[in-house]
Amino acid sequence: MKCQPFAVSRLASYLMAGIFGLGLASQALAQGGPPAGQGQPANNNPIFADRGLHNGEEGLRKVELIAATDAENKRAWRLQWRM
């Protein structure tokens, strides 16, 4: 086995190759998500978000109306039995 002397140029070439490899790997990993044109498109329709909000408010109104109707029915039932 032949012992080779320490060479700064060899160390510098390995260092440059390592930096280049890390640069390529970081760019490949930083893309995040599928390539353009693949996968389902994002839903950026503002009407869709508004519709969801409207349906949520409608559900709350429905609960309030049911609670009010129940209260009126209980009050009418109590008045009916008092007579």
Would you kindly state where each structural domain of the chain is located, as residue ranges?
Answer: 54-83
pLDDT at position 79: 80
Residues 6 or more apart whose CB falls under 8 angstroms from that of 39 comprise: 33
Which is higher by pLDDT, 76 or 41? 76
Give pTM, 2 decimals.
0.34
More confident residue, 3 or 44: 44
Task: For residue 65, give the 3-state DSSP assignment.
Answer: helix
